[in-house]
Amino acid sequence: MRHVKSDHNMKQLLRAAVITSLSACILAQVHSEEAGPKDKQQSQWITSITQLGSQDTFIASTANGLLMQPASVESFTAQDTKSRTLLYTHPAAVWAVAASPDGSLIASVDYRGNLGTYNVANSKATVHEKVFERWCQSLIMDPSGKSVVAGNEAGKIMVWNWEEAKIASSTELDGHAVTGLAISPDQQQLAASDGSGHVHLLKWPSLESIGKMKVSDSTAWCIAFSQSGDQIFVGCADNHLYQIASQADSEPQVLMSGKDWITKLAVSSSGEIAAGEVSGGIHIISDFQSPASITKSFRGDSGIWSLYWNGQEELLVGSRKHGVARIGRSWDWISEKTSEQETSAGQDVASPTEPEPETEATETDSEPETEPETEAK
């Protein structure tokens, strides 16, 4: 009996080690995909994308395989995703970026738990060291633009007040890493996904608990509200996209099954759902009320790190190795122009000449035995 309990505890410790670092999965994939030891160049990851108010300007956060190395927050336009302008830097990999609704402020969070803030009017950038205490996978802006909400790997949600320049409120969940955050369209609820496969529903802005729902036995990596706010979508490490009513004690239903961990979600203003897989799969669902409504499923060049809808007509896709790509309303990749030549109208910019092999689907009860090596803290 003691031996069985010891094995169970060891499995729990190994699972916790993986959950507290999304990089465990991604970096393992990097080691398997990248060239041999002679290839020392680090690719730039586009970890998060947001829009600067209603402008045709977008903001991207970046990182690479060395998570403790400096990284940047950059701006670009949808018409030229390859040309990005440096705004400011972080001392470590930047994991998420958000902007105020009026486009005047930008916030970002890095692997050390530092909060980066940027005033667009005067181009002033400030790094507030370890405001969020530990690594945060998710950071969002309050729709009022008055605060920033972040969840860290210890299961703590914190609200940073812009005017007071400090943490105004916080709450601790169950100790599992907070992997995703979303505020309901009516601004009455805050939903959080975590490393144990739960969705936590809280009142906004009081952070009072409404309830906790079990969605999966695997990590719940990402979360989003429907446009009506009565449904929540959750992407999990069991390769499923779930939907669940935004009320306590709701039961989840499988909306879609992918081939790998579903780690990114974005819902358009007209209700389309974009779901990204860690190995590069992308799925567009036009109507979540109809299980057969998947418009198209296809692959990008590399792992999907971020998704952002540019209105209803275009989806911006941030990847692990190939920057930002675009998917148009025809649900196909939009060709980009290069400085050397214009790409032909029919060229698929996201499909390499020799497509990457499909990654084997991750089983729900298996985790990497050890974490890949990262730069020492």
Q: Domain-by-domain residue ranges, the chain?
A: 1-32, 45-172
**315 with 49: CB under 8 angstroms?**
no
- Is-cis flag, bond preceding 205, omega within 30? yes
Question: Please, which residues bridge with residue 232 across strands?
Answer: 225, 244
As a whole number of angstroms, the distance between CA 224 and CA 220 comes to 12
pLDDT of residue 42: 61
> pLDDT higher for 122 or 328?
122
Identify the burial level of 210 via C-beta atoms within 10 angstroms of its C-beta, where 0-12 means exposed, 13-18 middle and 19 or more buried. Answer: middle
pLDDT of res. 171: 98
Query: Which helix (H) or strand (E) segment is 25 a member of?
Result: helix 23-33
User: Between β-strands 189-194 and 198-203, what pairing exists: parallel, antiparallel or unpaired?
Assistant: antiparallel
Residue 227: per-residue pLDDT: 94
Q: What is the pLDDT of residue 337?
A: 60
Please compute the mean of the pLDDT values over residues 42-49 and round it to a whole number.
89
In the numeric block, which tokens belong to residue 351? 């499909």
pLDDT class of 367 with cuts at 50, 70, 90 = very low
| CA separation, residue 65 to residues 219, 254, 296, 302 (Å) | 22, 33, 31, 14
Give the β-pairing of 166-172 and 136-141. unpaired
Closest CA to 88 of 50, 60, 46, 129: 60
In which band, very low, low, confident or very high, does the pLDDT at 332 lie, cut at 50, 70 and 90? Answer: confident
pLDDT at position 11 over 50: no
Query: Binning pLDDT at 50, 70 and 90, where does residue 375 land?
Result: very low
Higher pLDDT, 374 or 241: 241
Task: State residue 294's pLDDT score.
Answer: 62
Q: From CA 245, how far away is CA 229, in angstroms rounded?
A: 9
The tens digit of pLDDT for each residue in 75-122 reads 999 999 999 999 999 999 999 999 999 999 999 999 999 999 999 999
Least confident of 223-232, 273-282, 323-332: 323-332
pLDDT tens across 204-228, in order?
Answer: 999 999 999 999 999 999 999 999 9
d(CA 321, CA 343): 20
Widest CA span in the chain: 68
Task: Compute the mean pLDDT over every residue in the chain, rounded to the nearest whole number.
Answer: 82
Question: Residue 345: helix, strand or coil by DSSP?
Answer: coil
Residue 69's pLDDT is 94
Tallying the residues shown for the chain, one arrives at 377
Give the residue among 349, 21, 268, 302 at the shortest CA–CA distance from 154.
Answer: 21
Homologous superfamily, domain 45-172: YVTN repeat-like/Quinoprotein amine dehydrogenase (2.130.10.10)
Reported in sequence order, the residue ranges of 177-272 that DSSP labels E, i.e. its strands, are 178-183, 189-194, 198-203, 209-214, 220-225, 231-236, 240-245, 253-257, 262-267
Q: Residue 63 corresponds to which tokens in the numbers above? A: 């990182």
Token digits of residue 148: 């920033």
Q: What would the pLDDT profile of 244-265 be if each residue is shown by its tens digit?
A: 999 999 999 999 999 999 999 9
Residue whose C-alpha is closest to residue 201's, from 249, 265, 165: 249
| Cα dihedral 299→302→307→312 (10° resolution) | -40
Query: Residue 152 — very low, low, confident or very high, per pLDDT cuts 50/70/90?
Result: very high
Q: Please determine, for residue 365, whether its predicted confidence score (pLDDT) is greater than 80.
A: no
Identify the CA nearest to 257 among candidates 218, 226, 302: 218
pLDDT band at 140 (very low <50, low <70, confident <90, very high): very high
pLDDT of residue 3: 43
Where is pLDDT greater, at 25 or 170? 170
Q: What is the DSSP letter of 376?
A: -
pLDDT for res 8? 43
List the single range of 39-48, 168-177, 327-336 with lowest mean pLDDT. Answer: 39-48
10 versus 138: the higher-pLDDT residue is: 138
* The predicted structure's pLDDT at residue 292: 62
